[in-house]
Amino acid sequence: MNVLLIGSGGREHALAWKIAQSSLLDSLFVAPGNPGTLRHGRSAEIDPADHKALRSFILEKKIRIVVVGPEGPLVDGLHDRIAEDPKLADVTVIGPKAEGARLEGSKDFAKEFMFRHNIPTAAHRTFVKGQLSDAIEHLDRVNSPYVVKADGLAAGKGVIITNDKKEAVKALRDMLQSGRFGEAGERVVIEQHLKGVECSAFLITDGDAFKMLPAAKDYKRIGNGDSGPNTGGMGAVSPVTFADKDFMQKVHDRVAAPTVRGMKKDGIPYQGFLFMGLMNVNGDPYVIEYNVRLGDPETQAILPRLKSDLLDLFEGIATGTLSERHVDVDDRTAVTIVLASEGYPGEYAKGKSIIGADLVRDAYVFHAGTRNKNDTLVTDGGRVLSVTGIGKDLESAIASAYRAADTISFEGRYRRDDIGKDLVKEPSQRATAAVKH
């Protein structure tokens, strides 16, 4: 079977690496991919938003499965355009249509969905343009910290959490009045603040059946000890010590199952991955956000633990037989360290030579912001590479990941020193069993 994968980050390199291991694969194409994905498939020089070009490519290369890595093309209706094209009737898209993608694309839609289907999440109120004074008044009725979110996609910058009411008011003004967040901020959600520890849970679904994938913890802040600004993610660990069997069973029963059922009930066909961003509040899961894709860098930690054939699962989606497929998970631990360019998530230099990325043997190296320049690999983004170490326990996975990461060098290389180390402190909470269903 021929597969087209869309995206260019570390998540997509991990997906390409995993798909390439499948005995069901004939050819893999990645649009646009990166120097890492080139080892597993060919680069496709097409813009997936250009439907005519996409259609020609799919027909010419006899693509059966289109896997969409990032959320943008899904929110933008890529799946809808393929589904509505009679010439592409045999093509399966891994990722929802635009309506299902609203689970990520609109915070208000996601909150209403959760409310309707009784899925635990923070209490909220939504305000639209013209309701600025109502929104400001609402701050008087809730406790700090204030959580103010732009409704639409804002590249991780649309969430303001602050104890300072003035700052919360400014965020509301920026969104509802000054239009600083564009369309994404024309609708604003004010949420109750949840206290707990975060983790990410994942499932794959054909719209009817679903299978849980391994859970992971992401390290979102740039600095050690979760300090400094938010990033796309600076590291990941899977499994998560505090997401033990009991907790994951609750995630399955209270979040995953009602979400898949709810979509079906609402008449919204949903197929592909679903990322449940969760807060563990005293042992109970609350949904912070949904994403309609896998996480980055979580994917780089969870796919190395997935023993099952990913294309077999995709075929289960294509034929509506996911319930008959198996998800087998390696119970060892994976730790992923992101190597970034100094200055990220702000401004950073590009074009620095990368040394040692090809020499790593006992860990996985996934490319993100890299580029080949005259036979040399150079930096080309904020998050440059991610390195995943595997170990029989968390400590050995951390050691393996850092050992490998530190054999790679480039000018201005930055990484966090503490990925996974917060979880080592509580060995009594270590439990890794996967949920069976």
Residues at the contact surface with ligand AMP, assessed by CB under 6 A: 122, 147, 149, 159, 161, 191, 193-194, 198, 277, 288-289
Stretch that binds ligand GLY, among 109-117, 139-147, 280-288, 290-298 (CB under 6 A): 290-298
Contact status: 298 vs ligand GLY (CB under 6 A) = yes
Pick what 330 binds: ligand AMP, ligand GLY, none; C-beta below 5 to 8 Å, kind-dependent: none
Strands 63-68 and 92-94, bridge-based pairing: parallel
Strands 376-379 and 124-128, bridge-based pairing: unpaired
Pick what 296 binds: ligand GLY, ligand AMP, none; C-beta below 5 to 8 Å, kind-dependent: ligand GLY
Nearer to ligand GLY, 57 or 275 (CB): 275
Instruction: Return the closest-CA partner of residue 299 out of 216, 204, 398.
Output: 216
Pick what 288 binds: ligand AMP, ligand GLY, none; C-beta below 5 to 8 Å, kind-dependent: ligand AMP
Nearer to ligand GLY, 43 or 230 (CB): 230
Nearer to ligand AMP, 288 or 306 (CB): 288
- Three-state DSSP class for 236? strand
Residue from 12, 191, 296, 309 that binds ligand GLY (CB under 6 A)? 296
Nearer to ligand GLY, 218 or 309 (CB): 218
Pick what 291 binds: ligand GLY, ligand AMP, none; C-beta below 5 to 8 Å, kind-dependent: ligand GLY
| Contact pattern from residue 84 through residue 113 relative to ligand GLY, giving x for each residue in contact according to CB under 6 A and a dash for the rest | ------------------------------
- Residue 375: φ, ψ to 5°: 70, 5
Pick what 204 binds: ligand GLY, ligand AMP, none; C-beta below 5 to 8 Å, kind-dependent: none
Q: Are 297 and 335 in contact (CB under 8 A)?
A: no
Q: Cis omega (within 30 of 0) on the bond before 96?
A: no
Instruction: Return the closest-CA partner of residue 74 out of 45, 34, 103, 54.
Output: 103
Stretch that binds ligand GLY, among 78-86, 142-150, 172-180, 289-297 (CB under 6 A): 289-297
Pick what 198 binds: ligand AMP, ligand GLY, none; C-beta below 5 to 8 Å, kind-dependent: ligand AMP
Pick what 289 binds: ligand GLY, ligand AMP, none; C-beta below 5 to 8 Å, kind-dependent: ligand AMP
Q: Which residues of 363-395 are buried (b: 16+ CB within 10 A; e: fewer)?
A: bbbbbbbbbeeeeebbbbbbbbbbbbbbbeebb
CA atoms of 74 and 58, how far apart (whole Å): 17
Nearer to ligand GLY, 29 or 344 (CB): 344
Q: Are 237 and 243 in contact (CB under 8 A)?
A: no
Nearer to ligand AMP, 286 or 366 (CB): 286
Nearer to ligand GLY, 294 or 354 (CB): 294
Side-chain-facing half-sphere of 70: CA atoms under 13 Å = 19
Contact status: 272 vs ligand GLY (CB under 6 A) = no
Q: Which residues within the stretch 223-252 sit at the binding site for ligand GLY (CB under 6 A)?
A: 232-233
Which residue type occupies 119?
I
Helices (H), 177-277: 245-250, 257-265
Residue from 92, 121, 291, 386 that binds ligand GLY (CB under 6 A)? 291
Stretch that binds ligand GLY, among 57-65, 242-250, 293-301, 403-411 (CB under 6 A): 293-301
Instruction: Transcribe 275-299 into DSSP letters.
Output: EEEEEEETTEEEEEEEESS--TTHH
Nearer to ligand AMP, 229 or 343 (CB): 229
Cβ of residue 113: shortest distance to ligand AMP, in angstroms?
14
Cβ of residue 132: shortest distance to ligand GLY, in angstroms?
29
Nearer to ligand AMP, 108 or 191 (CB): 191
Neighbours of 227 (CB within 10 A): 9
Q: Cis omega (within 30 of 0) on the bond before 239?
A: yes
Kindly list the distances between the CA atom of residue 323 and the CA atoms of 211, 316, 319, in Å, as whole numbers in the listed order.
8, 8, 11
Helix axes 132-141, 165-176, angle to 10 degrees: 160
Contact status: 218 vs ligand GLY (CB under 6 A) = yes
- Three-state DSSP class for 415? coil
Strands 28-32 and 2-7, bridge-based pairing: parallel
Stretch that binds ligand GLY, among 27-35, 79-87, 203-211, 295-303 (CB under 6 A): 295-303
Please give the residue ranges that form the binding site for ligand GLY (CB under 6 A).
218, 232-233, 291, 295-296, 298
